[in-house]
Structure formats: C-alpha cells, structure tokens
Amino acid sequence: MNFKTFDELLHLNVSCGLALAEHAALLVVGDWADALVADLRGAGKKVTQHATVRLLFGLPILTAPFPLFVGGAMTERNTALQQMSLFGWIEDNAIEQPRAEVFGLTPFVEQPVLFLRDFDLDRPVEVWFQTEQPARWVQVAGVAIATAQHSGPPQLLKGDEAPLVAMANALPLDAQPFVAALRADVAAGQSLRAALRQRRKSAEASLMAVCDGWRVLAQATAVLRLDPAPEQTQETSVEDVIRLAPPKRW
C-alpha cells in the first residue's frame, strides 16, 4: 500500500458546526446545532455555522510526538485491510499479531514503515482535520449533541451509548432504521462492535464505513449531550471539552 495524499486515507466526513480553539475543535451536531453555534458566536467564540470536515484517524507512534494517519494494514497472515473496520480488527488482534504492518501518512506526508508494536495502543485513536486558509492541523476534542430531546445539565455519554446517540443525530433519515437495529442489538447485550460485525456482509459498505467511523470517533473523543435552552451554560461546557485536548506537540 502506497499513499501519497491525505485524501487516500481512511476518513469520516461530518457535516457539523465547529467551535475552534487554537489546536482543538468541538463538532456540533443535532437538531439544535445551529442554535448552539449562534449562542457561541454571540458569546464571542470562534465558531463556524456549517462545515463538512474530513476527519482522519491517527494511531499514536511510540517514538514520535505525532500520529500516523491510517490508510490500511496488512496482517501477519497477508490479509489486506483497507476499511474503517480495521480499527476493530486492531482492538481484537494487536497482541496476537504485533508484526501486522500499518500504512498511512504522518502529518508531514511521510510514509514510515510501522508495525502494530510501534504504536501506543493504550492511548485512544487521535482524530484530526485540516483547516483552510491558513491550513493547520486541529484535533477533535469532542462532539456536542445539541438536541431538544435532552433537557437539564450537560450529559457526558459513555460506552456504546455515545456513538449510537451521535449517529442518531448525525446520520440522515434513511440510515435511522439501521441505527435503531444497532441500538436494539446493544440493548440485548451485544457490543456495538459485534453488532456491526454481524451486519458487515449484508449492509451497504458506505453505511458501514460511516458507522465504523462514528464508533471510533466516539471512543477517541468526549461525546456531550446538551440542552439547547439558553439558561443552560453550554458555553462553559464547550470550553471544558475543548480544554480536554492535549496541546499540540508538533
């Protein structure tokens, strides 16, 4: 596998509002996303009302301060993996196949030779995107779900609930029956990863890629459900989440 541009790598496109700090960003989705973004803009925060960001998924390298943005992998048994589901494969097989090779690009468009054993897999996957004019790398610190279905103080979602709620608020209407089926499987005791694996051969590949992407994204970042009511202090919550992102090291 030989990658030359970031467009060739595994990615997730997300339509959202953006709250930006110097090195970190909060993605804002949900039926009240526009209202939350407008409130933040009124409070003097640097926000974008509508954007489609191309998220890249990076594994932290043990010997470098920057991640490798992943494009694919080759297992020790010479099976090529070039879909978002490879992150689930890594979770299952990193210990048994430490010499599986991972391909991708560094933020400097370099393609090093790296194996699974070369990554710090005790740390979460890092999610980044590039801004335009001026181009710079920004790490996703979290996802804010602004929805009228939630009232009260901000709620930090955990486990499989985080990607399921995010997908229910970010995916189009025609994908909602699939999300509902995943939720039913999780409620019945399956993990979301197992529920996705069970449907992999029968579901549309593009939908599976999006669902796999949201699962990894929710593992990598904070997912916060917010009440859109003005009296709730979303501004403080947004800043708290953005501050969770570590300072840029490169």
**What digits encode the pLDDT tens for the residues 210-227?**
999 999 999 999 999 887
Which of 31-40, 81-90, 128-137 shows the lowest mean pLDDT across its residues? Answer: 31-40
- Of residues 21 and 220, the one with the higher pLDDT is 220
Has residue 250 got a pLDDT over 50?
yes
Judge contact between 133 and 17, C-beta under 8 A.
no
- By the 10 Å C-beta count (0-12 exposed, 13-18 middle, 19+ buried), 2 is classed as exposed
DSSP string, 20-82: E-SSEEEEEESTTHHHHHHHHHHTT--EEEEEEEEEEEEEEBTTSSSEEEEEEEE-TT--EE-
DSSP string, 151-204: -SS-EEE-TTHHHHHHHHHHS-GGGHHHHHHHHHHHHTT--HHHHHHHHTTTS-
CA–CA distance, 235 with 154 (Å, rounded to integer): 11
Taking all residues of the chain, what is their mean pLDDT, rounded to a whole number?
A: 90
Predicted pLDDT at 236 = 56
Q: What's the mean pLDDT in 186-196?
A: 96
Residue with tokens 């960001």: 53
Predicted pLDDT at 180 = 97
Predicted pLDDT at 35 = 82
Closest to 223 measured CA to CA, from 127, 155, 173: 155
Residues above pLDDT 70, as percent of the chain: 93
Residues in the chain: 250
CA–CA distance, 199 with 178 (Å, rounded to integer): 10
Lookup: tokens for 133? 């004019």
Closest to 212 measured CA to CA, from 180, 166, 172, 250: 166
Closest to 183 measured CA to CA, from 211, 202, 216: 211
Judge contact between 126 and 107, C-beta under 8 A.
no
CA–CA distance, 59 with 203 (Å, rounded to integer): 27
Whole-structure pTM value: 0.91
Predicted pLDDT at 235 = 54
- pLDDT tens track for 47-93: 887 889 999 999 999 999 999 999 999 999 999 999 999 999 999 99
Has residue 233 got a pLDDT over 50?
no
- How many Cβ atoms are within 10 Å of 24's Cβ, its own excluded? 21
Judge contact between 205 and 9, C-beta under 8 A.
no
- pLDDT tens track for 152-190: 778 899 999 999 999 999 999 999 999 999 999 999 999
